[in-house]
Amino acid sequence: MPELPEVETIVRQLDAELSGKRLGQVRLSRKDIVHGDPRPLSRLLPDRRIEGVHRRAKRVIIDLRPRAQLVFHLGMSGRLTLCALDASVEKHTHLRIAIRNADRELRFRDPRRFGGVWCLTGGPKHKGRKLGEVGPEPLPLTLRQFKAVVARPRQLKALLLDQRVIAGLGNIYCDEALHAAGVHPLTRADSLDEAQARRLLRAIKATLRKAIRSGGSTFADYRRADGRAGSYQKHHRAYHRDGQPCRTCGTTIQRINVAGRSTFICPRCQQEVSKPPS
């Protein structure tokens, strides 16, 4: 599933390539992936100018003028790529948006359809799924803000995965950051002391920044906007490394289950210090 670094990678590429351009013809093959304004995208989008592309949480937001926003949620398997007009169209490509005076088009592909597109115009709304509320972005968080975020009696990893609490982290970067900070994922969040909270926030930011520099992590579906894979998976220290030696201490990385998700830890670097709430 694309997380903050993967979405940030897509957004930076799209912003550089698309800002100032105008949208053209829209081809939609699955109406049920579109939410927000109920009018057809083929009427709403053509000729609108792209003001810029940015990210909030794990969402790609395309700002348009006349004023509108096109919000993509990539869900589990979504891909948002700029493709040559004559490139073969992959199965499960639900939406294609031409770019005026360009030889490429924007394609949204999502085999598992946990993602979707929201067209927000300020006009009629409430068709299909709503965009949920999301918590603060991790990169600008101060230690004080982070301590307020984690001051809850919940398992730390479950809390960090909760998009309403903190935005953009998923299974990969939670495991990587917790390993880098030497904190066990089952730690009760409100039991972190000052030093642990500082280490963890620092690890979250450093992990996300390094992953953005590598274009994100590709395991299965994720691709950058130019269709290439990310490379941060080569630098993972915990995620999907069960059975392999910890790159810090040599102990074998274990796979455990936390909050219903496969979780990868080094039992030596990440010792459990307090029991989670039952």
For position 211 contacting Zn ion by CB under 5 A, the verdict is: no
Contacts of 153 (CB under 8 A, 6+ apart): 188, 189, 190, 277
For position 70 contacting Zn ion by CB under 5 A, the verdict is: no
Q: Which residue's CB atom is positioned nearest to Zn ion? A: 246
User: To the nearest whole angstrom, how small is the minimum distance from the Cβ of residue 239 to Zn ion?
Assistant: 14
Which single residue is written with the structure tokens 């390993």?
179
For position 244 contacting Zn ion by CB under 5 A, the verdict is: no
Contacting residue, 82, 119, 183, 246, with Zn ion by CB under 5 A: 246
The sign of the CA dihedral 9, 12, 16, 17 is positive
For position 269 contacting Zn ion by CB under 5 A, the verdict is: yes
Whether 130 is a known active-site residue: answer no
What CA–CA distance (Å, rounded) separates 144 from 149? 9
Whether 2 is a known active-site residue: answer yes
The sign of the CA dihedral 109, 115, 121, 124 is positive
User: To the nearest whole angstrom, how small is the minimum distance from the Cβ of residue 180 to Zn ion?
Assistant: 11
Contacting residue, 69, 121, 231, 248, with Zn ion by CB under 5 A: 248
Phi, psi of 168 (to 5 degrees): 100, -15
Whether 58 is a known active-site residue: answer yes
Going edge to edge, which strands form the sheet with 79-84? Answer: 23-28, 93-99, 104-109, 79-84
For position 268 contacting Zn ion by CB under 5 A, the verdict is: yes
- How many residues touch Zn ion under the rule CB under 5 A: the total is 7
For position 253 contacting Zn ion by CB under 5 A, the verdict is: no
For position 272 contacting Zn ion by CB under 5 A, the verdict is: no
User: To the nearest whole angstrom, how small is the minimum distance from the Cβ of residue 265 to Zn ion?
Assistant: 9
Whether 3 is a known active-site residue: answer yes
Contacting residue, 16, 148, 229, 249, with Zn ion by CB under 5 A: 249
CA dihedral defined by 4, 162, 159, 219, rounded to 10 degrees? -40
For position 183 contacting Zn ion by CB under 5 A, the verdict is: no
Are the beta carbons of 177 and 157 closer than 8 angstroms? no
Are the beta carbons of 251 and 271 closer than 8 angstroms? no
Which residues contact Zn ion (rule: CB under 5 A)? 246, 248-249, 251, 266, 268-269
Active-site residues, by number, are 2-3, 58, 261
